[in-house]
Amino acid sequence: MTVNWHERYKEQAGWTRQTREYLLSKVDFALPKKVLDVGCGTGALFPDFEKSNLTGVDIDHGNLRVAIKGDTKKDLVQGDGYHLPFSTGSYDVVFCHYVLLWVRQPILFLEEMKRVLKPGGCLLLFAESDYQARIDTPEVQKQIGNLQNASLEKQGVDLETGRKLAGYLEQIGCTKIMTGVVGGEWDRSTRSATLEQQVLRSDLQKIGVEDIMSSDQAGSLTYIPTFYAMAYR
Ligand SMILES: C[S@@+](CC[C@H](N)C(=O)[O-])C[C@H]1O[C@@H](n2cnc3c(N)ncnc32)[C@H](O)[C@@H]1O
């Protein structure tokens, strides 16, 4: 199953837009500023930072190529989040969005994000899922959810990433830590399940499950809590 990742990232950015606006309104200095998007992917969050001096960094050339096509004004750099190719203390705001889930050593990764922040700069973890706390209903959907979690664990994902964000920020010595959960609502009349189905099928194929029942049958629901956190250097 091929997943249209660019569309998927844009969809996720849509779900978390209100939370980002809320968090950016809480930053205790005036924006726009010098901002770094770590693991920027295909640039789904770039439209939020039209007025900022934004740099996007990602390890994946393919994602960066898509980002470049969509926004030639942004400064895009290929690089590894564990070894950011930037000077210490060079950004006012450093953020990531759905990235820590895929990172095996989140503390090292976050320490590096903090390193490139100016003293007093703001670290924003806009959205990280907590698959361990997922709610799937009815029973058949629960079974599909368990299979997806098994696949994610096989892919190296820590299913409890979301709930650990504030603790991570404490461990790396940040101050003024705030955390919470992204709100959710579902418009069942207009919602398209296509992209979610693509992701689910792709995850299940990774553990050899080829044929799943529709996960969007009447009355079914999947909710994966998504946490955010912010703090200062
Ligand atoms: C799920 S995507 C999210 C992309 C984007 N932040 C968004 O929300 O649309 C995760 C991104 O993190 C990037 N990534 C994973 N490990 C990385 C690393 N060590 N350094 C830099 N980028 C990394 C991946 O290449 C991918 O583009």
Confidence of residue 104 (pLDDT cuts 50, 70, 90): very high
Residue 22 lies in a domain: yes
Residue 85 lies in a domain: yes
pLDDT at 201: 87
Residue 114 lies in a domain: yes
Confidence of residue 73 (pLDDT cuts 50, 70, 90): confident
Hey, whose CA ends up nearest to atom 23 of ligand 1? 39
pLDDT tens by residue, 126-139: 999 999 999 999 98
pLDDT tens by residue, 179-233: 999 987 776 665 556 788 888 888 998 998 887 655 556 678 889 999 999 999 9
pLDDT at 191: 56
The predicted model scores a pTM of 0.94
The domain total for the chain is: 1
Kindly state if the Cβ of 39 falls inside 6 Å of ligand 1: yes
> Is residue 101 over pLDDT 90?
yes
SS (H, E, C) the chain: CCCCHHHHHHHHHHHCHHHHHHHHHHCCCCCCCEEEEECCCCCCCHHHHCCCEEEEEECCHHHHHHHHHHCCCCEEEECCHHHCCCCCCCEEEEEECCCHHHCCCHHHHHHHHHHCEEEEEEEEEEEEECHHHCEEECHHHHHHHHHHHHHHHHCCCCCCHHHHHHHHHHHCCCEEEEEEECCCCCCCCCCCCHHHHHHHHHHHHCCCCCCCCCCCCCCCEEECCEEEEEEEC
38 C-alpha to ligand 1 centroid (Å):
7
pLDDT at 78: 97
Q: What is the CATH number of the domain that holds 54?
A: 3.40.50.150
Domain encompassing residue 70 = 5-132+158-190+224-232
Mutate which of 9, 59, 113 for ligand 1? The one with the most ligand atoms within 8 Å of its CB, which is 59
pLDDT tens by residue, 44-71: 999 999 889 999 999 999 999 999 887 6
Residue 219 lies in a domain: no
Q: What is the number of the ligand 1 atom nearest to the C-alpha of 9?
A: 9
Kindly state if the Cβ of 9 falls inside 6 Å of ligand 1: yes
pLDDT tens by residue, 145-182: 999 999 999 999 999 999 999 999 999 999 999 999 99
Residue 198 lies in a domain: no
